[in-house]
Amino acid sequence: MIRALTLLAIAAAVLVEGQNRPASLDALARAALARLDGSVELRGLAAPVTVTRDRWGVPHIAAQSTSDLYFAQGFVMAQDRLWQMEMWRRGAEGRLAEVLGPAAVSRDRQARLLKYRGEVDDEELKVYHPEARQIMTAYAAGVNAFIETATAAGALPVEFVLTGIQPEPWTIGSLLLRQNSFGDATAELQLARSVAQLGADEANRRRGPDPFEELVVPEGLDVSIIGDEVMAATRAGGPAPRPTVLPEFAGITGAIPGLQPDGSVAEPGSNNWVLSGALSATGKPIVANDPHREVALPSLRYIVHLSAPGWDVAGSSEPPFLGVAIGHNDRIGWGLTIVGTDQHDVYVEELNPANANEVKVNGKWEPLRIVRETIAVKGAAPEEIELKFSRHGPIFYTDKVKGRAYALRSALHQPGTAPYLAGLRLSQVRDCKSFLDAANYWNSPSENLICGDIDGNISWQASALTPARKGWSGRLPVPGTGAYEWEGFRKDLPRELNPSRNFIATANHNIQPKGYRPLMFKAVPTPFDRIERLLQLIKPGAKYTVEDSARWQHDALSLRAVADLPRFKGWAASDPEVEAARAEVAAWDGVYTRESRAAAVYETWRTGAGEGARGGRGQAADAEATTSPREQVEARLKSAVEVLKKTQGADRSQWRWGRMHTRSFSHAFVPAFNLPTVERSGGAGTVAADGASYREIFDLANWDRSLVINTPGQSGQPGSKFYGNLLQDWADNKYFNLAFSKEAVEKAAAHRLTLTPAR
């Protein structure tokens, strides 16, 4: 009740004086901005903590103890990202419907079905760090301290004011939530459907597993009964609905109903590399990383610098997770890309015809575990749900007619798999050899972890909790009979320390050494374009700088385009417009700059845009079967020209790749808080890809020369000067120096807030 009254007071404070209507959105947003300067007294601190925000919005937190350090990180992250954190937590808990209404019930049910249900005990916590309980307790207390003080001051983020949603206290359990998915289990089901239609050999040939291996259908698996409805069950839930704005604010927000915007990338594009001192102009390693995840508002990443006795680490985390997941301390720098181990399996359970709550295992009927829960629903009656679990995991689809139930077994349902929290261990590593040992505690997400240290060492570890399967590949669903059980988890994931080539690079490609038993078969052939381009750029014997790595991160040359260019040469089109387009592509260098007209033409041609207007790929394929390769190129090029005339206008001088390759930044429910759409260079298959939300390049010869960029800004609070301040620099391929030394932090300082113990 007190909190509800406080929110009403906030709303009243921004009403136009003497009138029964709210002030502008700007006034609401300004009233909700977090305090960045001065002093705040907080219960839970043992000693003062200094939070210095630099001119880019990065908080540099200096504390006198571990507990105070992570208390302050929780407080500061909540200042900048509380709405994002609250919605993430509710999504992971399956509790969105109680604030968003009936449209979120299906999503909540799926979240509850898939969530981790283990105990918050030492088996779980000590995976992340020996002091994890102390650290997480402090961090949660810091988040709660911000909620308490902001509520009392009428300064909760504006989204809470507009919706009336109340942020809830955080616990250690909040920090251990996983937003689980089906992972590659969906690929298993898709392949099973293909086997049913085409047979194992042809389905395998079309899938093109990497590396290639014959496909063996597990004994006892009937692929013919796995229908489209099973696949549909993996997609239950969907995007979250938008919050409803309180009636008194509806007239000024322009809030729209429907689903929330979803940040996305068109194609995976993460890259990382570490150069040894032998390839560096300074004689010290260089570590570079640009993880390509969702590009969204607010950013998926949050840059922070944490300093206390035993801790001095800077880099990025993902709200709401604490610590630094990707970054550097005073001795090592590290980065990551998705490695893609197979952490999921679908088990097809045989139902007891006499009791649908039993399945057959090892020849005997075994009861399912049944969990009944209530989903609170805003504006509607609560929903009672029943969740079922076999020994293999949650039952996501039941086919009583065919007598089968489908269970998901996931490594992420094991203790110690909360994402990114093992970054706490990496933050205190002193050299790259020790890094390999610490990386073994990194269970999720599955990553290529690379390291460089100031002594000149470099290393790489494929890190993920990966099931050991004996005699079966995990590429297809398996019967739940007991014949296809995991035999623990693998201890043989590949690694390197100081390779003779003097660098390590990964780009979501097949990293498995020759003769190594495959970790995972990709759903489609692995794209090697980015790693091949990186291998072209990193030349033996050269001496590279941080600036070279910056250029490589934005390298927009497409090897697939270069390979296609000869198809546009040595002939002329009869149509003048098509011929002009052909000549332009033929003379192109294959670089996807924002200004490139040839890139726009080529990409429209490559993707077959406009073929739907000509009858779709079916008719196009029929036509191609009766025409020559050159005629096929010309026909598709003519279609591409028509598409560009419709989408970019008849004046071909205005055609450019940047108009096609854009990034939008939409607020969850208030269009007035959207940021401008920006154009990007790069594209699918280039090192630059679709644009990483965060980039880092660490100079181990001088940490203060390290480069980073986030997008669109550090703060998730509309109206903050750090809400979108980095957006244009990100679009223009620019960086800023991440201050690390005390002198550099002081020089970059723009705001200073002191957190003091309450008296």
Three-state helix/strand/coil letters over 72-88: HHHHHHHHHHHHHHHHH
The predicted structure's pLDDT at residue 611: 47
Closest CA to 738 of 712, 703, 701, 711: 703
Instruction: Return the minimum-mean-pLDDT range out of 280-294, 482-496, 598-612.
Output: 598-612
Instruction: Please state the rounded mean pLDDT for residues 583-590.
Output: 98
DSSP 413: G
Q: Are strands 478-479 and 355-361 parallel, antiparallel or unpaired?
A: unpaired
Number of CB atoms found within 10 A of residue 198's CB: 13
The predicted structure's pLDDT at residue 426: 99
The residue whose two tokens read 């194609």 is: 267
The predicted structure's pLDDT at residue 610: 46
**pLDDT tens digits, one per residue of 372-423:** 999 999 999 999 999 999 999 999 999 999 999 999 999 999 999 999 999 9
Per-residue confidence at 212, pLDDT binned at 50, 70, 90? confident
Per-residue confidence at 608, pLDDT binned at 50, 70, 90? confident
Distance of alpha carbon 508 from alpha carbon 527, whole angstroms: 8
The alpha-helical segments, DSSP class H, found in 400-494 are 423-426, 432-439
Nearby residues of 381 by Cβ (< 8 Å), 6 or more positions away = none
Residues in the chain: 759
Distance of alpha carbon 426 from alpha carbon 334, whole angstroms: 8
Please work out, in degrees rounded to the nearest 5, the angle formed at the alpha carbon of residue 629 by the alpha carbons of 626 and 630: 115
Residue spans per domain, the chain = 273-341+418-469+490-553, 559-591+595-659
Per-residue confidence at 252, pLDDT binned at 50, 70, 90? confident
The predicted structure's pLDDT at residue 262: 57
Per-residue confidence at 511, pLDDT binned at 50, 70, 90? confident
Beta bridge pairs of residue 355: 352
CATH of domain 273-341+418-469+490-553: 3.60.20.10
Number of CB atoms found within 10 A of residue 278's CB: 17
Residue 751 corresponds to which tokens in the numbers above?
């705001």
The residue whose two tokens read 């959207």 is: 674
Question: Percentage of the chain with pLDDT > 70?
Answer: 91
Q: Establish how many alpha carbons lie within 13 A of residue 172's alpha carbon, considering only the half-sphere containing its beta carbon.
A: 16
pTM of the predicted structure, to 2 decimals: 0.93
The predicted structure's pLDDT at residue 254: 73
Structural contact between residues 481 and 219, judged by C-beta atoms closer than 8 angstroms: no
**pLDDT tens digits, one per residue of 157-180:** 999 999 999 999 999 999 999 878
**Res. 9: pLDDT tops 50:** no
The predicted structure's pLDDT at residue 684: 83
Distance of alpha carbon 241 from alpha carbon 257, whole angstroms: 8
**Res. 8: pLDDT tops 60:** no
The predicted structure's pLDDT at residue 380: 97
Run of H or E residues at 230: helix 228-234
φ, ψ of residue 551 in degrees (nearest 5)? -65, -40
Structural contact between residues 359 and 82, judged by C-beta atoms closer than 8 angstroms: no
